[in-house]
């Protein structure tokens, strides 16, 4: 979107999506269908996750290529450093840019299965701040393209799992900004105040880059538990109970919660909303329709 690319303050609400590479052929077919609908909604970008330890590196690149070649959406590549050396990371950045993708979300990545934060492989991996710099260096090697592409980083409204204080989180985000990050996307959270309080503290600490709230409309009790573990907070009791009463599956409840949360965030000044799609278009498009951010409606063709 010209608005986001120009880095100006948005005067109207915008949105973006996250998808992950499919693990089976059938899932890939369904995902192809979903991203067509997502793209038709006109997002600022569609981000593609990157497996810990490069496990689905080829699948991520395939999906980025698919978005680039078969949709109108701007693809944004998540990239992680955990378990990789700088040279391998550099090659991966160039492979992604060779595919025509120049926007990145620079991450350290979760410890690979079986390893903890203390393992030398994890502790010795370049950080997300290092990755922001590596991406800038790779861009500088392609002078014709230096004005293309933006680098995003992660932010944690409820604290990074290793953080001991809010000030540590803010210092780390400031360090990523100083390294050249142009915007941030948050980890999941449940309450508007968690995001708005964090953004306000970040501004006081000198963070100037836009911070996009990450939201996921959940359908099942299992997804709600997963979000709670990522958010580092228990899910709202009302939502837990309502999902359980519905037999553990109630997509409309997740949509309703996300719409209400998104309204409070946008009213509170959020520049845009980033929706974790779980590779489905129906629920995130229902959220956007409810927020009146879809014009014209890409599915039904309604204005």
- Which residues of this chain interact with ligand FAD, rule CB under 6 A? 49-50, 52, 78, 80, 105, 107-110, 117, 127-128, 154, 160, 162-163, 168-169, 172, 185, 187, 214
Sequence-separated (6 or more) residues with CB below 8 Å from residue 197: 157
Output 109 or 298, the one with its CB closest to ligand FAD: 109
Please provide the DSSP assignment of 145-182 as one string: GTTS--EEEEE-TT--TT-SSHHHHHHHHHHHHHHT--
Residue 154 or 228: the one with the smaller Cβ distance to ligand FAD is 154
Nearer to ligand FAD, 54 or 298 (CB): 54
- For residue 259, how many other CB atoms are within 10 A of its CB? 17
State whether the Cα torsion 15-21-26-29 is positive or negative: positive
Which two three-digit tokens encode residue 268? 């509170």
What residues contact residue 175 under an 8 Å CB cut-off, 6+ apart?
129
**By C-beta, is 108 or 150 nearer to ligand FAD?**
108
Give the span between the Cα atoms of 97 and 109, in whole angstroms: 20
Nearest-angstrom CA–CA distance, 72 and 276: 19
Nearest approach in angstroms of CB 26 to ligand FAD is 22
**Residue 144 class from Cβ within 10 Å (0-12 exposed, 13-18 middle, 19+ buried)?**
exposed
Question: Minimum CB separation from ligand FAD for residue 248, in Å?
Answer: 26
Please report how close the Cβ of residue 139 comes to ligand FAD at its closest, in angstroms. Answer: 19
Please identify, using beta-carbon distances, which residue of 243 and 261 lies nearer to ligand FAD. Answer: 261
- Closer residue to ligand FAD (CB): 258 or 289: 258
Phi, psi dihedrals of residue 10, rounded to the nearest 5°: -70, 135
Q: Which two tokens stand for residue 20?
A: 């992950």
Give the nearest distance from C-beta 93 to ligand FAD in angstroms.
Answer: 15
Query: Min. distance of Cβ 242 from ligand FAD in angstroms?
Result: 26
CB of 173 to ligand FAD, least distance (A): 8
Which residue do the tokens 């509170």 mark?
268
Quote the least distance from Cβ 121 to ligand FAD, whole Å.
Answer: 12
User: How many residues in the chain?
Assistant: 303
Q: CB-wise, 45 or 172, nearer to ligand FAD? A: 172
């Amino acid at each position: 979107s010209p608005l986001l690319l120009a880095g100006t303050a948005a005067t109207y609400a915008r949105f973006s999506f996250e998808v992950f590479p499919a693990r089976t052929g059938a899932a890939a077919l369904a995902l192809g269908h979903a991203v067509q609908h997502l793209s038709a909604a006109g997002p600022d970008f569609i981000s593609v996750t990157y497996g810990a330890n490069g496990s689905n590196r080829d699948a991520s690149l395939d999906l980025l290529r698919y978005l680039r070649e078969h949709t109108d959406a701007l693809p944004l590549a998540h990239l992680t450093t955990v378990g990789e050396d700088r040279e391998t990371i550099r090659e991966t950045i160039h492979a992604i840019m060779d595919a025509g993708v120049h926007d990145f979300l620079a991450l350290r990545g979760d410890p690979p299965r079986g390893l903890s934060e203390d393992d030398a492989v994890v502790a010795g991996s370049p950080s997300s701040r290092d990755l922001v710099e590596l991406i800038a260096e790779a861009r500088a090697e392609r002078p014709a393209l230096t004005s293309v592409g933006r680098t995003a980083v992660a932010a944690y409204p409820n604290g990074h799992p290793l953080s001991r204080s809010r000030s540590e989180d803010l210092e780390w985000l400031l360090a990523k900004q100083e390294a050249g990050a142009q915007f941030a996307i948050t980890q999941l959270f449940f309450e508007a105040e968690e995001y708005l309080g964090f953004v306000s503290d970040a501004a006081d600490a000198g963070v100037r880059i836009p911070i996009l709230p990450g939201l996921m409309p959940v359908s099942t009790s299992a997804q709600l538990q997963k979000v709670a573990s990522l958010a580092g907070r228990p899910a709202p009791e009302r939502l837990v109970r309502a999902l359980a009463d519905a037999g553990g599956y109630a997509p409309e409840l997740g949509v309703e919660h996300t719409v209400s949360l998104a309204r409070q965030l946008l009213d509170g000044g959020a520049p845009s909303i980033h929706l974790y799609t779980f590779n489905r278009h129906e629920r995130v498009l229902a959220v956007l329709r409810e927020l009146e951010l879809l014009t014209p409606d890409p599915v039904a063709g309604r204005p």
